[in-house]
Amino acid sequence: MNKIARFILFDILKNKIILFYTVLLFILSWSVLGLESNYTKATLSLLNVVLLVVPLVSIIFSTIYVYNSSQFVELLLSQPVPRTKVWFNIFLGLSTALVFAFLIGCGVPILLYSSIETGFSLIIIGIFLSIIFTSFAMLSAISSRDKAKGIGISIFLWIFFAIIYDGILLVLMFQFADYPIEGIMATLAGLNPIGLARIFVLLQLDVSAMLGASGAIFKQVFGSGGGMGISLVVMAVWAIIPFVLSLIKFNKKDL
């Protein structure tokens, strides 16, 4: 890891918000997994926590950190350091710190109380969601000089992927229920990283009734093995594309 990324990583790990985030995840994970006797119910409860809390904290904290680091970025760019290297190391430091916080907060209770297969699937989606929404945060922060506007964009992105998108899919399904739209709906399901993360874990649990409309279609079209493989590939794409777009904007931006 580069010196810039290491500096950012250790700086973030000492941040009180990240420490609180880690402790909060640990308490929630331990209480859900340790006190609930029904294994499936406990996993689903923790899944809901991960799908809401991890993306929200990742995108909001990362957006604020990028804005607050503007003078640090300008100082780095005054040195003979390529812009691409600076921006990538900021992303690397941020995403690594958030992944560490998640692994300590959720990973330890999951490994202690959950089954290996489902536990690892929860850990995998937590890591992916941390990276994906850090990537979105970088794009939001570089898209506007106004801090309030950038944070507003980040909050909207979280609300859209966590709440609005599934509502849009349901409306489309009801409107076109008489047509063979399974393939189209499965494709649209891949355009939501939070929905993909939910489907990835639920396919492991084999609870078809709780997959939701998009998840049920996804399983029907691709099957469990294919669906999980495609979910991982698409989530990796979600992690890369917003960061690449933010990098292009950063390279062209006059600081």
Q: What is the DSSP string of 95-114?
A: HHHHHHHHIIIIIHHHHHHS
Residue 206, phi-psi category: left (phi > 0), alpha (psi -120 to 50), beta (remainder): left
Structure tokens of 112?
A: 């202690």
Q: What integer is the mean pLDDT of 190-205? A: 79
Residue 214 pLDDT level (bands cut at 50, 70, 90)? low
Considering its fold, how many domains does the chain have in total? 1
* pLDDT grade for 92, boundaries at 50, 70 and 90: very high
**Predicted pLDDT at 5:** 84
User: How far does the chain reach from its first CA to its final CA, in angstroms?
Assistant: 26
**Cβ neighbours of residue 33 closer than 8 Å, sequence gap 6 or more:** 42, 43, 46, 109, 110, 112, 113, 114
Distances (CA, A) of 140 to 82, 238, 243: 21, 15, 10
* Three-state DSSP string of 181-226: CHHHHHHHHCCCHHHHHHHHHHHHHCCHHHCHHHHHHHHHHHHHHH
Place of tokens 């993909």: 196
As a whole number of angstroms, the distance between CA 112 and CA 108 comes to 6
The span from the CA of 136 to the CA of 129, in Å, is 10
What's the mean per-residue pLDDT of the chain?
A: 83
- Residue pLDDT, tens place only, 120-168: 888 999 999 999 999 999 999 999 888 999 999 999 999 999 889 888 8
Is the pLDDT assigned to residue 76 strictly greater than 90?
no
- Confidence at residue 168, expressed as pLDDT on a 0 to 100 scale: 85
Cα–Cα distance for residue pair 171/192, rounded to 1 Å: 16
User: Can you read off the two tokens belonging to residue 93?
Assistant: 């430091």
Q: Which amino acid is at 208?
A: S
**pLDDT higher than threshold 60 for residue 207:** no
> Which residue range(s) make up the domain with 153?
3-252
d(C-alpha 101, C-alpha 205), whole Å: 25
User: Does 60 score more than 90 pLDDT?
Assistant: yes
- Residue-level pLDDT at 206: 58
| pTM to 2 decimal places | 0.88
Q: Tens digits of per-residue pLDDT, 233-253? A: 888 999 999 999 999 999 887
Comparing 62-66, 80-84, 196-200, the range with the smallest average pLDDT is 196-200
Question: What pLDDT shows up at residue 217?
Answer: 60
3-state helix, strand, coil in the chain (%, to 5): 85, 0, 15
How far does Cα 25 stand from its chain's mean position?
Answer: 15
